[in-house]
């Protein structure tokens, strides 16, 4: 299966620590998205890459969050100085080059728990 993969699947960290998540998109997809999802809510858009360029970043996204996609392949999402409110599922998705609307393929997510 060559779907979107995310690592780790679960992360427990203490408040104030930094965490980094990795996403490997479907290989031929050039666009990559990060989302955050809390219980009972739909995924919330965080940021978006086309190839290695970060084109959009949610205005709601704290400066403690940063994402990279250095070679236009995998991406990392880092959260610095984690807070309890950062506890959520972090989802990554990729979309095909020829896509038109919001056709995206999601990974399984990384569940973050901040204690």
Partner 1 sequence: LAKTTQPISMDSYEGQEVNITCSHNNIATNDYITWYQQFPSQGPRFIIQGYKTKVTNEVASLFIPADRKSSTLSLPRVSLSDTAVYYCLVGDMYNTDKLIFGTGTRLQVFP
Interface positions with partner 1 (CB under 8 A): 4, 31, 33, 40-45, 48, 56, 89, 91, 93, 95, 99-109, 111
Rounded least distance, CB 87 to partner 1, Å: 14
Non-local CB neighbours of 36 within 8 Å, separated by 6+ positions: 43, 44, 46, 88, 89, 90, 91
Rounded least distance, CB 43 to partner 1, Å: 5
Which residue, 20 or 26, has its beta carbon nearer to partner 1? Answer: 26
d(CA 36, CA 73): 20
In Å, how far are 33, 35, 74, 99, 105 from 82, measured between CA atoms?
21, 17, 23, 35, 27
Rounded least distance, CB 74 to partner 1, Å: 17
Which residue, 74 or 105, has its beta carbon nearer to partner 1? Answer: 105
């Amino acid at each position: 299966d060559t779907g979107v993969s995310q690592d780790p699947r679960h992360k427990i960290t203490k408040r104030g620590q930094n965490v980094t998540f990795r996403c490997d998109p479907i290989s031929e997809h050039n666009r990559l998205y990060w989302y955050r999802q809390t219980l009972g809510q739909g995924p919330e858009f965080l940021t978006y890459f086309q190839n290695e360029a970060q084109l959009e970043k949610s205005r709601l996204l704290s400066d403690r969050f940063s994402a990279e996609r250095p070679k236009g392949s995998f991406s990392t999402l880092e959260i610095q100085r984690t807070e309890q409110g950062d506890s959520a599922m972090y989802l990554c998705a990729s979309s095909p080059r020829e896509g038109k609307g919001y056709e995206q393929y999601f990974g399984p997510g990384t569940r973050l728990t901040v204690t």
